[in-house]
Amino acid sequence: MRRKGYGVFLIPGVLAALLVIVVPLVMTVWTSFTKWNGVGEQRWIGFDNYTRLFEDSLFWSSFGNILLLVLAMAVVPTLLGLVLAAVLFDYVAKKFSDRWASLFRSGFYLPQVIPVAVTGIVWGWILHPEYGALNRILEAIGLGGLAHNWLGEPGSALYSVMGIMIWVQLGYPIVMFMAGLQRVDPELYEAADLDGATWWQRFRKITVYLIRPEFSVVLVTTTISALKIFGPIFVLTGGGPSNATLVPSYFAYQNFFEKAQVGYGSAISTVLTVLIVVLAFVFLRLQTRSVK
Amino acid sequence: MTVTATPTRTPLEPAADESTAKKRGDPVRFVILAGLLALLLIVIAPLLIIAINAVKSPADYAGGGPLALPAHLYWDGIVDFWNRVDFGQKLWNSFVTSFTVAVLGVLLSVLNAYALGIGRVKGRLWFLVFFLVANLLPQEVLVYPLYFLAKQVHLYDSLIAIVVIFTVIQAAFGTYLLTSVYQDFPTELLDAADVDGAGKWRTLWSVVAPVSRPTLGVLFTFFFIWTWNEFFLPLVFLVSNDNQTVPVALGVLQGDRLMDATMTSASGLIGILPAMIFFLVFQRTLTRGITAGAVK
């Protein structure tokens, strides 16, 4: 039965989306072809911003940094989360109790609910070169030689941010995968037990196989959030020291609001957006496939 | 010792021994539990360290270092920080913004999803793709025109601009999620409403919305927490002290030279507390909802 005349309900949503999303998006893409400082005259310069972008070593290093952050925010948490979710679901819940499993799950999820600015305060404090707890701990256990200005030295800043982002992200895959495992028929595990399968075999053949849909969703959504990362960089390092932790979104922000190079900032954002939209379509395809 | 000396206990002991022996016979069990507990400790240790240092006096901190337990509870750091940044005002700003966005966002999602999921308007697939992409767009690509336009209409540095923008961004996700829920909405209920002569508006508010209330609750929770935690756009838009939200106020104070170790810790703790309260209040909804819509 086909229902008619529902289009009117879409009007407020579509108008609002036009105003807040479509118009700004088109303006940014248009601005990326111009030279503009935000107040004066806007001059059309064609692809100049883009050619400049592809010759800009800062732009390339910001994308190199984002690749490492994809590793820290998507790849590592997804793989580690998969193992931890399987251990919690298929070992702790059975050998101990469901309460232990959900206690661990909540604990691991905790960093996810904390606002990013607070994550910045917490870790900025712990890694602080003068009063930070990490250096104190290292000194206390006789490893004072390893003490470091973790976020302040170009050699270690990005790795420190990566470690922090693993801490932030880990809970999300665990929760997603444990929810996905609820769908799995317990008889499958029992049958595997009867056949004498080891835990690792069950993990590989049953767990990993059955939660493929969640796996791809988690991997793609975390990758997209890694590409968009701004807050943690702003509060932890400000892109420094000497651009060691610069990422595209922060690079765009600097051009917009610090250097008043709005055209150039728009070109950076446009490239980032194209990348994310491509990934979003991958996400959609994976999702429609998993439904079938 | 006293247990074995008590005769009445003896009959119970063999059984108890047997089960503990069985458990002890599986050392892997405890190795795994110990490993998980160690990992959990690593995950929550940063928060614990912040909590214990937030309630230390600077002298106590200078003496015992960051890892010692506070000699006595010292609230001045928290109180000083609270007064210095007028934290009550920031909490209120965050609350009003998040709450309004959550209400309006759910409303807008319901309207969109009603048209797309139940009304099945033409081109609905493209609308869905549009809303999904809208939600995934990096905010950097929207920020400058939004900033520019907001200045034109005198909504720069105003919570209203933030509410409007996030209502749309959150509703984009809500539309996507809620449409997939409404596609499977029981047709009998809609037909019954038709038979009763209810128009589309009545059907929406007296049948569809009440039946989908649990999902709307999940959406409300999400929108509230997400808006609360938003950083980038509020940072750009809310420049004056009176309008800042909690994350912006805490974010811009980072590295302020007037902040000593214990006061920074105190600021971290009062930033964590609201998030923890939401986490506890909404925990059930969250674990149910985080997976909603991701995989059908």
Tell me: do B92 and B55 sit in the same domain: no
Q: Which fold has domain A46-291?
A: MetI-like fold (1.10.3720)
Q: Do A115 and B231 touch (CB under 8 A)?
A: yes
Domain count, chain B: 2
Residue B132: inside a domain: yes
Token pair for residue A270? Answer: 């446009």
What residues contact A264, with CB distance under 8 A and at least 6 apart?
A49, A52, A53, A255
Token pair for residue A104? Answer: 């661990």
Q: Do A221 and B290 touch (CB under 8 A)?
A: no
Q: How far apart are CA B30 and CA A230, in angstroms?
A: 40
Q: How far is B5 from chain A (nearest CA, A)?
A: 31
CA closest to B26 among chain A residues? A95
Tell me: do B70 and B113 sit in the same domain: no
pLDDT of residue B92: 94
pLDDT at A235 over 60: yes
**Using N-to-C axis directions, what is the helix angle for A262-291 and B124-136, rounded to 10°?**
130
Q: How far apart are CA B238 and CA A218, in angstroms?
A: 32
Tell me: do B31 and B136 sit in the same domain: no
pLDDT of residue B12: 39
Q: Which of B149, B167, B247 sits opposite A115 (nearest CB)?
A: B247
Q: Which of A3, A88, A269 sits opposite B138 (nearest CB)?
A: A269
Interface of B with A in 252-281 (CB under 8 A): 254-255, 261, 264-265, 267-268, 271-272, 275-276, 278-279
Tell me: do B70 and B128 sit in the same domain: no
Residue B149: inside a domain: yes
Cα dihedral: B65, B68, B70, B76 (round 10): 30
What residues contact B181, with CB distance under 8 A and at least 6 apart?
B113, B117, B212, B215, B293
pLDDT per residue as tens digits for the range A242-292: 888 999 999 999 999 999 899 999 999 999 999 999 987 877 777 676 554
Token pair for residue A183? Answer: 């769908």
Residues of A within 8 A of B247 (CB-CB) are 115-118, 231
- What's the whole-model pTM score? 0.85
pLDDT per residue as tens digits for the range A199-230: 888 888 888 888 887 888 888 889 999 999 99
**Under a CB-based contact definition with an 8 Å cutoff, are residues B112 and B131 in contact?**
yes
pLDDT of residue A3: 62
pLDDT per residue as tens digits for the range A113-155: 888 888 988 898 888 887 778 888 888 887 777 778 888 888 8
Q: Where are the domains of chain A?
A: 46-291
Tell me: do B240 and B148 sit in the same domain: yes
pLDDT of residue A51: 93
Tell me: do B99 and B57 sit in the same domain: no
**Under a CB-based contact definition with an 8 Å cutoff, are residues A135 and B265 in contact?**
no
Q: How far is B142 from chain A (nearest CA, A)?
A: 5
Is the model more confident about A3 or about A243? A243
Tell me: do B8 and B48 sit in the same domain: yes
pLDDT at B247 over 60: yes
Q: How far apart are CA B129 and CA B179, in angstroms?
A: 12
Q: Which domain holds residue B56?
A: 2-75
CB atoms < 10 A from the CB of B137, how many? 21
Q: Which of A211, A35, A27 is nearest to B144 (CA)?
A: A27
| Least confidently predicted of A43-57, B6-20, B280-294 | B6-20
pLDDT at B13 over 50: no
CA closest to B51 among chain A residues? A122
Mean pLDDT over residues A78-84, rounded? 93
Angle among Cα A61, A161, A259 to the nearest 5 degrees reads 50
